[in-house]
Amino acid sequence: MTAEIQLTGRWVERELAWNDTDVLNCPVCGRLITRRAWAFDAGAGELRVHGPDCEELYLTYWKPTYGLMKPNADY
Ligand SMILES: [Zn+2]
């Protein structure tokens, strides 16, 4: 099944000032996020994932299955 998904996110650079030591993993797929993250409004706040693929995965699978994901708590 292929649905037309409207992605709303944007790339954000990971600035040293706000996260220089922590390792950030994609909350949807667990992949390590390195230099930049894909930020989008997940319904309960802004989520940062590893790329637009995971916004789509969140919208098509994660949210219908588990409900709204809370934004990452540690920043
Ligand atoms: Zn991901």
pLDDT score at 54: 96
| Residues within 5 Å of ion ligand 1, judged at the Cβ atom | 26, 28-29, 31, 49-50, 54
Q: Which amino acid is at 56?
A: E
Q: Could you tell me the distance, in angstroms and rounded to a whole number, from the CA of residue 17 to the centre of ligand 1?
A: 23
Domain count, the chain: 1
| Residue 74 placed within a domain | no
| Residue 21 placed within a domain | yes
Burial tier of 13 (Cβ tally within 10 Å: 0-12, 13-18, 19+): exposed
pLDDT per position as a tens digit, 15-66 = 666 556 667 889 999 999 988 999 999 999 999 999 999 999 999 999 999 9
| Residue 43 placed within a domain | yes
Q: Could you tell me the distance, in angstroms and rounded to a whole number, from the CA of residue 30 to the centre of ligand 1?
A: 6
What is the value of pTM for the model shown?
0.79
Give residue 22's domain range: 10-66
| Residue 24 placed within a domain | yes
| Residue 55 placed within a domain | yes
| Residue 5 placed within a domain | no
Using the structure block, give the residue that is written with the tokens 């996260």: 19
What are phi and psi for residue 61, nearest 5 degrees? -125, -55
Torsion, Cα of 23, 28, 31, 32 (10° steps): -20
| Residue 1 placed within a domain | no
Higher pLDDT, 19 or 4: 4
